[in-house]
Structure 1
């Protein structure tokens, strides 16, 4: 092959690797110069778009004034949260970018806390928000979570179950947390159909079956949490 795999692949290249020689996916995909070049080109286009948005948001955040309207501050905070999600999915090593986004969010949150004054309830809500953000960012360490939440996600709706059934256990444990009970039930239903279909074709479904059992276990956990 003329094209080489990236050291830090983005969503499209990662998804290409998931599908290669994977019988769980309906559409067969080969790893060759054409498919790899196409995936890397798409990832590069996403990086270019991301960097433009990041630079614009960086400038707006740094230029914030203490008298800025709260809706402006909150809009920037939401945008930074989304940029962190995207930075977790795009190609190349974005460690420093993610660290920069965290620092910008800290700057924003400091401004919001200042605006809350002595309101204890408001500060408690901000504490909860920051804890939720940290937990969410931890989930984004999973490339599948990052790819699913990526606005430019290459994972089609009908590919979700194959992706989950192909995932390594430690990553699957993170991914299931982004779904609610109803979504998990649907995944379990579709997983059973897919595993049964592949079994009848004589295809090895050991990992897929184990992952389906794991997902079922997570559903039981969700139900117990509600009691």
Structure 2
């Protein structure tokens, strides 16, 4: 049998295969990764990356060619697409830190134009400050691939795979991911997690620790 050659910086599909590999929290048929599965995941991740880089370059060109008198609607549309691009980069294959840094710089330039449009309006300036704080928090959460994968509109993590993915995460990744859920959702996840671990033979101690973290968050 061919050996599996995983990537140093896997994309979302390959990353999800890694979550499942030899993981007793997932159904047994999903725990063994074949070379064909890995090859397909890497190919699809690469195709997505090529398309993403092409779109990013087009967006950079559009953002840098914005005229000084561009309307606020056009500026805000560019800013929203830049934020989406940052989120997309977080789940792509290969090291995308350079692209994310480029997005941050472009967002800073765009925000200068937005602030200029706000003038001295204190309410508008406060709203912009709040938005920048929220963006900073969001970007920090995206440092965890699990968060990026969960936020993906075409997430590779199905509803049935959510709990196994959360309970297999590192403590830091789980802490970041659980901020995506409200208290009621966390309560339901903790309850379902207890059932999953009761039904899983040889459930890892790490999974039990992650469940305790979910339960504590539920009570807070």
Quickly name the TM-score band, shorter chain normalised. Answer: over 0.9
Contact 1:3/1:37 (<8 A) preserved:
no
Contact 1:80/1:101 (<8 A) preserved:
yes
Deviates more, 1:110-119 or 1:31-40: 31-40
Q: Please report the TM-score for the alignment, with normalisation by the length of structure 2.
A: 0.93
Which residue is 2:24 aligned to?
Answer: 23
Task: List structure 1 segments (4+ residues) > 6 angstroms apart after TM superposition.
Answer: none
1:56-67 matched pairs, under 5 angstroms? 56-67=58-69
Contact 1:188/1:215 (<8 A) preserved:
yes
Give distance in 2, aligned partners of 1:204 and 1:181.
25
Q: Please report the TM-score for the alignment, with normalisation by the length of structure 1.
A: 0.91
Which residue is 1:117 aligned to?
Answer: 119
Contact 1:12/1:39 (<8 A) preserved:
yes
1:73-92 matched pairs, under 5 angstroms? 73-92=75-94
Contact 2:197/2:203 (<8 A) preserved:
no
Give distance in 2, aligned partners of 1:155 and 1:147.
7
**Shift of residue 4 of structure 1?**
2.1
Which residue is 2:98 aligned to?
Answer: 96
Give distance in 1, aligned partners of 2:93 and 2:55.
16
Task: Specify every segment of 5 or more residues in structure 2 that has no aligned partner in the other structure, as ranges.
Answer: none
Deviates more, 1:43-52 or 1:108-117: 43-52
Write the deviation string for residues 15-58 of structure 1: whole angstroms up to 9, x where unpaired: 10100111111242323321210110111121122112212211
Root-mean-square deviation (CA), in Å?
1.5
1:185-204 matched pairs, under 5 angstroms? 185-198=187-200, 202-204=201-203
Give distance in 1, aligned partners of 2:195 and 2:3.
39
Which residue is 2:210 aligned to?
Answer: 211
**Shift of residue 2 of structure 1?**
6.1
Give distance in 1, aligned partners of 2:22 and 2:84.
33
Task: Specify every segment of 5 or more residues in structure 1 that has no aligned partner in the other structure, as ranges.
Answer: 222-227
Give distance in 2, aligned partners of 1:2 and 1:196.
33
Which residue is 2:182 aligned to?
Answer: 180
Give distance in 2, aligned partners of 1:178 and 1:14.
20
2:164 aligned with 1:162: yes
Cα distance change, pair 179–121 in 1 and its aligned pair in 2 (3 A): same
1:36-55 matched pairs, under 5 angstroms? 36-55=38-57
Alignment size in residue pairs: 218
**Shift of residue 131 of structure 1?**
0.8
